[in-house]
Amino acid sequence: MEGFRACSWPVSSLDATVLAAIRRTASSHPKGAAILTSCQRVEVYSNAEAELTPCRCSAPRHWRGLEALQHLAEVAAGLHSVVLGEEQILGQVRDALEPADEATRSLGGLAVAAARRFRREAALHQSTGQLLDAALTLAGVPASGHLTVLGAGAVGRLIAERGATLGFSPITVVARQRPAGAWFVDGAMSFVPFASMPSASPAAVLVSCLGSTATELSAESLPCVERLIVDLGTPRTVATDAYASIVTIADLASAEGDRTAQAPWLSLRDGLHSMLNERASRAAESATSHIGRVRLEVERVRQAELVRIQRLHPELKPETVDTITRALVNQIFHRPSQRLRTLEDSELAARLAALFAADPVPEQSAPQEALV
């Protein structure tokens, strides 16, 4: 774990040139690193076992060893998100780790698992859509009237759904093509193609949820906006010449202040760290026992299945799938594990571990250390 490193750049609302330079630096890290990109940060996680010093890249923040793993768990749990505890960041972290090398992916998996358990037990189920609440509060604008949402991706969907919950009506979604998801409710929501956006009906509030490759929009390319524009893009997607007041993701982050100095946040962090430390200790113990090795192999299969199930059934919450599969695996292996510990038969345990190993170990070479 001492070789595990994290490098972090805050990027909220940066312009395209600066953001591109940061992404190039992040990509220049050794092959096998995990690169996490969101509207708030670009971060690189890697495991350099032969190099125990911090990375010397241009990132303003660096962590190493357990501190780096703790930071990753905090990010995955949503403790550093503008919306405290937002759900979507956990999936972004999981996706960033998937193509990383095995060492980085294994250590990162400890952080993701601890964050998932923490979110469940702390009942943190906030949505990215609640950025709309934060923007309205910051600007002192009521949640009423016509809401226009630019973009029909994941963030656009969440903002539109949140707008409906808050009481906005009607809601217009501007996108390349008509949204096909069940969230797009005919009657309550209408569709306007980008080409027709300048002539669309006036909006009380407009929220831009466009991706990082979107072209900056001038005032002339937007419909009339009466109260507020919320730009959730990094880089910004609405030019500063827009006629209405603009709230950016950087404004929202600044308005939150430094949570890390506040007692409620510190209490959440300590609880998360405790879960992570417990999981890391179990993982270290697992590496020295046959039963632990069986569990590790089964957990690798379970984690792979979690990714597959989520792809096949995106309508299921990752936390729900994790809870069900974890409970099932624990029930199946609890009694055999207890009996193996009672028997203290290291030869039998070694044979069992070899059966579960990804690459079968020849029986004569199986280690004979005592069970933990």
What secondary structure does DSSP assign to 227-292, as a single string? EEEEE--SS--B-TT-SSEEEEHHHHHHHH--GGGSHHHHHHHHHHHHHHHHHHHHHHHHTTSHHH
Q: Which two tokens stand for residue 308?
A: 């597959």
Residues 161, 167, 172, 174, CA torsion sign? negative
What are the backbone angles phi and psi of residue 250, rounded to the nearest 5°? -65, -40
| Predicted confidence (pLDDT) at residue 73 exceeds the cutoff of 90 | yes
Query: Is the model's pTM score more than 0.85?
Result: no
- DSSP-derived secondary structure letter, 11: -
- The proportion of the chain whose per-residue pLDDT surpasses 90, expressed as a percent, equals 61
pLDDT in tens, 213-234: 888 999 999 999 999 999 999 9
pLDDT for residue 370: 31
| CA dihedral of residues 177, 180, 157, 318 (deg, nearest 10) | -140
**So what's the pLDDT on residue 372?**
29
CA distances (Å), origin 307, targets 9, 101, 265, 303:
27, 17, 30, 7
Say if residue 366's pLDDT is above 50.
Answer: no
Choice between 277 and 300, residue whose per-residue pLDDT is larger: 277
pLDDT value at 277 more than 80: yes
What is the per-residue DSSP string for 110-147? HHHHHHHHHHHHHT--B-GGGHHHHHHHHHT--S-S-E
- Of 36 and 239, the one with more pLDDT: 36
Distance between CA 196 and CA 36 in Å, rounded? 34
Encode pLDDT of 235-276 as tens digits: 999 988 878 899 999 999 999 888 988 999 999 999 999 999
Q: What is the pLDDT of residue 371?
A: 28
Q: Residue 368 pLDDT more than 60?
A: no
Q: How far apart are CA 365 and CA 245, in angstroms?
A: 70
Q: Where are the domains of the chain?
A: 1-126+263-286, 128-243, 290-372
Return all residues near 297 (Cβ < 8 A) that are at least 6 apart: 353, 356, 357, 358
Per DSSP bridges, beta strands 41-47 and 4-10 are antiparallel
Q: Which CATH number is associated with domain 1-126+263-286?
A: 3.30.460.30
What pLDDT shows up at residue 287?
A: 58
Homologous superfamily (CATH) of 128-243 is NAD(P)-binding Rossmann-like Domain (3.40.50.720)
pLDDT (mean) for 269-296: 80
